[in-house]
Amino acid sequence: MSGTSKTEKEEDLWGPNPYEPGTLMHTFTTSRNVKMGIYAYILLSAVVGVAFWTLWNGGALYNPAYGIARSPEREFHRMVSALLLYPPVTLWAVWYHYQHPRWTAPRGKYIKGRGYPLFSAYNIVAIAMLIAFSNVLGQVLSGGGVDLGLVSFSFGASFFGAWAGGTGIGVGNFFRSLLFGQQAGLGMVSAGLWDIGTCSVGAAIAWRILEPARAKGMQNPIWKVYLAGASIGMVHWIGCITITNGLNYYPIAMAPAWYAGVVIRYLPQEFISCPVAAIVSDIVVRSIEGRARRETQATTRRTTT
Protein backbone atom coordinates (compact mmCIF):
# COMPACT_ATOMS: atom_id res chain seq x y z
CA MET A 1 0.00 0.00 0.00
CA SER A 2 1.36 3.39 -0.99
CA GLY A 3 2.49 5.72 1.75
CA THR A 4 1.42 8.77 -0.26
CA SER A 5 -1.35 10.73 1.44
CA LYS A 6 -4.61 11.59 -0.28
CA THR A 7 -3.62 15.24 -0.34
CA GLU A 8 -0.32 14.43 -2.05
CA LYS A 9 -2.08 12.24 -4.59
CA GLU A 10 -4.55 15.00 -5.38
CA GLU A 11 -1.73 17.53 -5.68
CA ASP A 12 0.08 15.24 -8.10
CA LEU A 13 -3.09 14.80 -10.18
CA TRP A 14 -4.40 18.36 -10.19
CA GLY A 15 -1.29 20.36 -9.30
CA PRO A 16 -0.30 22.30 -6.15
CA ASN A 17 -1.98 25.60 -5.34
CA PRO A 18 0.24 28.13 -7.15
CA TYR A 19 -1.03 31.37 -5.61
CA GLU A 20 0.89 33.35 -3.02
CA PRO A 21 -0.69 33.32 0.48
CA GLY A 22 -2.53 36.55 1.16
CA THR A 23 -3.49 37.16 -2.47
CA LEU A 24 -7.10 37.26 -3.60
CA MET A 25 -6.76 34.11 -5.73
CA HIS A 26 -5.17 32.17 -2.88
CA THR A 27 -8.03 33.15 -0.59
CA PHE A 28 -10.60 32.36 -3.27
CA THR A 29 -9.16 28.89 -3.90
CA THR A 30 -8.27 27.83 -0.36
CA SER A 31 -10.48 29.63 2.17
CA ARG A 32 -13.10 27.48 3.90
CA ASN A 33 -15.12 30.65 4.51
CA VAL A 34 -15.24 31.30 0.77
CA LYS A 35 -16.36 27.72 0.14
CA MET A 36 -19.09 27.86 2.78
CA GLY A 37 -20.13 31.33 1.58
CA ILE A 38 -20.63 30.05 -1.97
CA TYR A 39 -22.77 27.13 -0.80
CA ALA A 40 -24.75 29.44 1.49
CA TYR A 41 -25.29 31.82 -1.45
CA ILE A 42 -26.63 28.94 -3.57
CA LEU A 43 -28.97 27.78 -0.80
CA LEU A 44 -30.25 31.28 -0.08
CA SER A 45 -30.83 31.98 -3.78
CA ALA A 46 -32.70 28.69 -4.14
CA VAL A 47 -34.98 29.47 -1.19
CA VAL A 48 -35.65 33.02 -2.36
CA GLY A 49 -36.12 31.83 -5.94
CA VAL A 50 -38.71 29.20 -5.02
CA ALA A 51 -40.52 31.70 -2.81
CA PHE A 52 -40.49 34.30 -5.58
CA TRP A 53 -41.74 31.82 -8.17
CA THR A 54 -44.56 30.47 -6.02
CA LEU A 55 -45.64 33.46 -3.92
CA TRP A 56 -45.06 36.63 -5.99
CA ASN A 57 -48.55 37.48 -7.25
CA GLY A 58 -49.45 33.80 -7.13
CA GLY A 59 -46.62 32.64 -9.38
CA ALA A 60 -46.03 33.42 -13.05
CA LEU A 61 -46.98 29.94 -14.24
CA TYR A 62 -50.43 29.93 -12.67
CA ASN A 63 -51.60 33.51 -12.32
CA PRO A 64 -53.55 34.77 -15.36
CA ALA A 65 -52.76 38.32 -14.27
CA TYR A 66 -49.32 37.84 -15.84
CA GLY A 67 -51.03 37.81 -19.21
CA ILE A 68 -50.18 35.95 -22.38
CA ALA A 69 -46.98 34.09 -23.11
CA ARG A 70 -43.90 36.32 -23.26
CA SER A 71 -45.75 39.28 -21.78
CA PRO A 72 -43.66 42.06 -20.16
CA GLU A 73 -44.74 40.76 -16.73
CA ARG A 74 -43.50 37.28 -17.57
CA GLU A 75 -40.30 38.74 -19.05
CA PHE A 76 -39.63 40.53 -15.77
CA HIS A 77 -40.38 37.36 -13.80
CA ARG A 78 -38.00 35.35 -16.00
CA MET A 79 -35.21 37.91 -15.54
CA VAL A 80 -35.56 37.95 -11.75
CA SER A 81 -35.50 34.14 -11.71
CA ALA A 82 -32.33 34.18 -13.83
CA LEU A 83 -30.70 36.72 -11.50
CA LEU A 84 -31.45 34.49 -8.53
CA LEU A 85 -30.42 31.19 -10.11
CA TYR A 86 -27.37 31.73 -12.29
CA PRO A 87 -24.88 34.03 -10.47
CA PRO A 88 -24.41 31.67 -7.50
CA VAL A 89 -24.02 28.50 -9.60
CA THR A 90 -21.64 30.34 -11.94
CA LEU A 91 -19.55 31.41 -8.96
CA TRP A 92 -19.48 27.81 -7.72
CA ALA A 93 -18.40 26.48 -11.13
CA VAL A 94 -15.54 28.98 -11.43
CA TRP A 95 -14.48 28.28 -7.84
CA TYR A 96 -14.55 24.53 -8.52
CA HIS A 97 -12.54 24.97 -11.72
CA TYR A 98 -9.86 26.94 -9.88
CA GLN A 99 -9.62 24.24 -7.20
CA HIS A 100 -7.64 22.33 -9.85
CA PRO A 101 -4.62 24.41 -10.91
CA ARG A 102 -3.90 22.09 -13.83
CA TRP A 103 -7.27 23.07 -15.30
CA THR A 104 -6.45 26.78 -15.25
CA ALA A 105 -3.50 26.58 -17.66
CA PRO A 106 -3.77 26.84 -21.45
CA ARG A 107 -4.11 23.40 -23.01
CA GLY A 108 -0.74 21.65 -23.11
CA LYS A 109 1.01 24.52 -21.27
CA TYR A 110 0.64 23.57 -17.61
CA ILE A 111 3.73 24.16 -15.48
CA LYS A 112 3.57 22.87 -11.93
CA GLY A 113 3.56 25.69 -9.39
CA ARG A 114 2.73 28.48 -11.87
CA GLY A 115 -0.41 30.55 -11.27
CA TYR A 116 -2.75 31.33 -14.14
CA PRO A 117 -4.96 34.36 -13.46
CA LEU A 118 -8.60 34.79 -14.41
CA PHE A 119 -7.78 37.52 -16.92
CA SER A 120 -4.79 35.93 -18.57
CA ALA A 121 -4.14 36.67 -22.24
CA TYR A 122 -5.23 33.12 -23.04
CA ASN A 123 -8.59 33.53 -21.29
CA ILE A 124 -9.24 36.95 -22.85
CA VAL A 125 -8.56 35.60 -26.35
CA ALA A 126 -10.71 32.53 -25.63
CA ILE A 127 -13.62 34.70 -24.45
CA ALA A 128 -13.38 36.94 -27.53
CA MET A 129 -13.19 33.94 -29.83
CA LEU A 130 -16.24 32.31 -28.27
CA ILE A 131 -18.25 35.53 -28.51
CA ALA A 132 -17.62 35.55 -32.26
CA PHE A 133 -17.96 31.77 -32.65
CA SER A 134 -21.30 31.62 -30.83
CA ASN A 135 -22.75 34.44 -32.91
CA VAL A 136 -21.67 32.93 -36.22
CA LEU A 137 -22.92 29.44 -35.41
CA GLY A 138 -25.92 30.46 -33.31
CA GLN A 139 -27.28 33.16 -35.56
CA VAL A 140 -25.68 33.32 -39.00
CA LEU A 141 -25.54 29.56 -39.72
CA SER A 142 -28.57 28.38 -37.71
CA GLY A 143 -32.07 28.11 -39.07
CA GLY A 144 -34.97 25.79 -39.77
CA GLY A 145 -35.17 24.66 -36.16
CA VAL A 146 -31.47 23.71 -36.03
CA ASP A 147 -29.55 25.56 -33.32
CA LEU A 148 -25.84 25.32 -34.10
CA GLY A 149 -25.24 27.60 -31.14
CA LEU A 150 -25.23 24.41 -29.08
CA VAL A 151 -22.02 23.39 -30.86
CA SER A 152 -20.22 26.54 -29.73
CA PHE A 153 -21.83 26.16 -26.28
CA SER A 154 -20.52 22.63 -25.77
CA PHE A 155 -17.12 23.28 -27.35
CA GLY A 156 -16.60 26.33 -25.16
CA ALA A 157 -17.48 24.35 -22.04
CA SER A 158 -15.49 21.22 -22.87
CA PHE A 159 -12.36 22.92 -24.24
CA PHE A 160 -12.04 26.19 -22.28
CA GLY A 161 -13.80 25.34 -19.02
CA ALA A 162 -16.08 27.11 -16.58
CA TRP A 163 -14.56 30.59 -16.56
CA ALA A 164 -13.50 31.35 -20.15
CA GLY A 165 -16.11 29.04 -21.68
CA GLY A 166 -19.04 30.28 -19.63
CA THR A 167 -18.09 33.95 -19.95
CA GLY A 168 -17.50 33.78 -23.70
CA ILE A 169 -20.74 31.93 -24.40
CA GLY A 170 -22.83 34.09 -22.05
CA VAL A 171 -21.50 37.41 -23.33
CA GLY A 172 -21.85 36.04 -26.84
CA ASN A 173 -25.53 35.32 -26.25
CA PHE A 174 -26.01 38.86 -24.94
CA PHE A 175 -24.44 40.31 -28.09
CA ARG A 176 -26.44 37.88 -30.21
CA SER A 177 -29.59 39.45 -28.78
CA LEU A 178 -28.21 42.97 -29.09
CA LEU A 179 -27.09 42.59 -32.71
CA PHE A 180 -29.64 40.18 -34.13
CA GLY A 181 -32.67 40.66 -31.87
CA GLN A 182 -32.82 37.08 -30.56
CA GLN A 183 -33.99 38.53 -27.23
CA ALA A 184 -35.12 42.07 -26.47
CA GLY A 185 -35.07 44.29 -23.41
CA LEU A 186 -34.90 42.33 -20.19
CA GLY A 187 -34.62 39.14 -22.21
CA MET A 188 -31.05 40.05 -23.16
CA VAL A 189 -30.08 39.93 -19.49
CA SER A 190 -31.86 36.61 -18.97
CA ALA A 191 -30.26 35.05 -22.05
CA GLY A 192 -26.75 36.12 -21.06
CA LEU A 193 -27.22 34.84 -17.52
CA TRP A 194 -28.61 31.43 -18.44
CA ASP A 195 -25.81 30.76 -20.92
CA ILE A 196 -23.09 31.84 -18.48
CA GLY A 197 -24.63 29.73 -15.73
CA THR A 198 -25.44 26.56 -17.64
CA CYS A 199 -22.21 26.61 -19.68
CA SER A 200 -20.02 27.06 -16.60
CA VAL A 201 -21.78 24.33 -14.59
CA GLY A 202 -21.77 22.00 -17.60
CA ALA A 203 -18.05 22.65 -17.99
CA ALA A 204 -17.36 21.81 -14.35
CA ILE A 205 -19.16 18.47 -14.73
CA ALA A 206 -17.54 17.64 -18.07
CA TRP A 207 -14.04 18.45 -16.86
CA ARG A 208 -14.57 16.33 -13.74
CA ILE A 209 -15.44 13.43 -16.03
CA LEU A 210 -12.59 13.86 -18.52
CA GLU A 211 -9.61 15.56 -16.86
CA PRO A 212 -8.47 12.85 -14.39
CA ALA A 213 -7.42 10.58 -17.28
CA ARG A 214 -5.82 13.47 -19.18
CA ALA A 215 -3.79 14.46 -16.11
CA LYS A 216 -2.31 10.95 -16.16
CA GLY A 217 -1.49 11.16 -19.87
CA MET A 218 -4.31 8.75 -20.77
CA GLN A 219 -7.05 9.01 -23.38
CA ASN A 220 -10.73 8.96 -22.50
CA PRO A 221 -12.90 6.33 -24.22
CA ILE A 222 -15.46 7.67 -26.66
CA TRP A 223 -18.40 6.78 -24.40
CA LYS A 224 -17.00 8.94 -21.62
CA VAL A 225 -16.50 11.90 -23.96
CA TYR A 226 -20.08 11.44 -25.18
CA LEU A 227 -21.26 11.36 -21.55
CA ALA A 228 -19.43 14.62 -20.84
CA GLY A 229 -20.99 16.29 -23.88
CA ALA A 230 -24.45 14.99 -23.03
CA SER A 231 -24.01 16.31 -19.48
CA ILE A 232 -23.32 19.77 -20.88
CA GLY A 233 -26.48 19.50 -22.98
CA MET A 234 -28.59 18.35 -20.05
CA VAL A 235 -27.45 21.20 -17.83
CA HIS A 236 -28.41 23.61 -20.60
CA TRP A 237 -31.79 21.89 -21.06
CA ILE A 238 -32.66 21.83 -17.37
CA GLY A 239 -31.52 25.39 -16.70
CA CYS A 240 -32.50 27.28 -19.83
CA ILE A 241 -35.47 25.35 -21.23
CA THR A 242 -37.11 23.79 -18.18
CA ILE A 243 -36.52 26.23 -15.33
CA THR A 244 -35.93 29.67 -16.80
CA ASN A 245 -38.35 29.50 -19.71
CA GLY A 246 -40.73 26.66 -18.90
CA LEU A 247 -41.59 27.85 -15.39
CA ASN A 248 -41.76 31.57 -16.10
CA TYR A 249 -42.52 32.43 -19.69
CA TYR A 250 -45.80 30.64 -20.42
CA PRO A 251 -49.20 30.35 -18.68
CA ILE A 252 -50.16 26.96 -17.31
CA ALA A 253 -52.66 26.33 -20.11
CA MET A 254 -49.94 26.75 -22.74
CA ALA A 255 -46.87 25.42 -20.95
CA PRO A 256 -47.40 21.64 -21.57
CA ALA A 257 -47.91 22.09 -25.33
CA TRP A 258 -44.90 24.42 -25.56
CA TYR A 259 -42.73 22.00 -23.61
CA ALA A 260 -43.79 19.04 -25.76
CA GLY A 261 -42.84 21.06 -28.83
CA VAL A 262 -39.37 21.92 -27.62
CA VAL A 263 -38.80 18.32 -26.48
CA ILE A 264 -39.45 17.15 -30.03
CA ARG A 265 -37.56 19.99 -31.67
CA TYR A 266 -34.58 20.68 -29.43
CA LEU A 267 -33.95 17.83 -26.98
CA PRO A 268 -32.42 15.55 -29.65
CA GLN A 269 -30.01 18.36 -30.52
CA GLU A 270 -28.78 18.43 -26.92
CA PHE A 271 -27.84 14.74 -27.31
CA ILE A 272 -26.27 15.20 -30.74
CA SER A 273 -24.74 18.66 -31.08
CA CYS A 274 -23.28 18.85 -27.56
CA PRO A 275 -21.60 15.40 -27.60
CA VAL A 276 -20.28 15.96 -31.14
CA ALA A 277 -18.71 19.26 -30.05
CA ALA A 278 -17.22 17.53 -26.99
CA ILE A 279 -15.73 14.82 -29.24
CA VAL A 280 -14.19 17.47 -31.52
CA SER A 281 -12.83 19.24 -28.42
CA ASP A 282 -11.36 15.95 -27.19
CA ILE A 283 -9.60 15.37 -30.52
CA VAL A 284 -8.08 18.85 -30.39
CA VAL A 285 -7.02 18.42 -26.73
CA ARG A 286 -5.39 15.06 -27.47
CA SER A 287 -3.45 16.61 -30.36
CA ILE A 288 -2.26 19.62 -28.32
CA GLU A 289 -1.34 17.66 -25.21
CA GLY A 290 0.24 14.84 -27.19
CA ARG A 291 2.51 17.34 -28.97
CA ALA A 292 3.36 18.99 -25.63
CA ARG A 293 4.36 15.61 -24.14
CA ARG A 294 6.54 14.81 -27.15
CA GLU A 295 8.26 18.19 -26.90
CA THR A 296 8.86 17.67 -23.17
CA GLN A 297 10.31 14.20 -23.79
CA ALA A 298 12.58 15.56 -26.53
CA THR A 299 13.80 18.34 -24.25
CA THR A 300 14.47 15.83 -21.47
CA ARG A 301 16.49 13.61 -23.80
CA ARG A 302 18.58 16.56 -25.00
CA THR A 303 19.37 17.68 -21.46
CA THR A 304 20.36 14.18 -20.34
CA THR A 305 22.68 13.41 -23.24
pLDDT digits (tens, 9 = 90+) for 92-131: 999 999 999 999 999 999 988 888 889 999 999 999 999 9
- Rounded to the nearest integer, the mean pLDDT of the chain is 86
Structural domain contains residue 299: yes
Examine the pLDDT at 69 and tell me if it is beyond 80.
no
Does residue 7 form part of some domain?
no
Q: Which domain holds residue 24?
A: 14-304
Structural domain count, the chain: 1
In a domain, 174, yes or no: yes
Residue at 84 is within a domain? yes
pLDDT band per the 50, 70, 90 thresholds, residue 293:
confident
Q: Model pTM?
A: 0.89
HEC per residue, the chain: CCCCCHHHHHHHHHCCCCCCCCCHHHHHHHCHHHHHHHHHHHHHHHHHHHHHHHHHHHCCCCCHHHCCCCCHHHHHHHHHHHHHHHHHHHHHHHHHHCCCHHHHCCCCCCCCCCCCCCCCHHHHHHHHHHHHHHHHHHHHCCECCECCHHHHHHHHHHHHHHHHHHHHHHHHHHHHHHHHCCCCCHHHHHHHHHHHHHHHHHHHHHHHHHHHHHHCCCCCCHHHHHHHHHHHHHHHHHHHHHHHHHCCCCCCCCHHHHHHHHHHHHHHHHHHHHHHHHHHHHHHHHHHHHHHHHHHHHHHHHHHC
pLDDT at 194: 92
Domain membership of residue 235 (yes or no) is yes
CATH for 284: 1.10.1760.20
Average of per-residue pLDDT across 256-269: 86
Residue 9: inside a domain, yes or no? no
Report if residue 3 sits inside a domain: no
Residue 289 is assigned to a structural domain of this protein: yes
Q: What is the mean pLDDT of residues 177-206?
A: 87
Residue 56: which pLDDT band, with cuts at 50, 70 and 90? low
Q: Which region among 44-48, 56-60, 86-90, 198-202 has the lowest average model confidence (pLDDT)?
A: 56-60
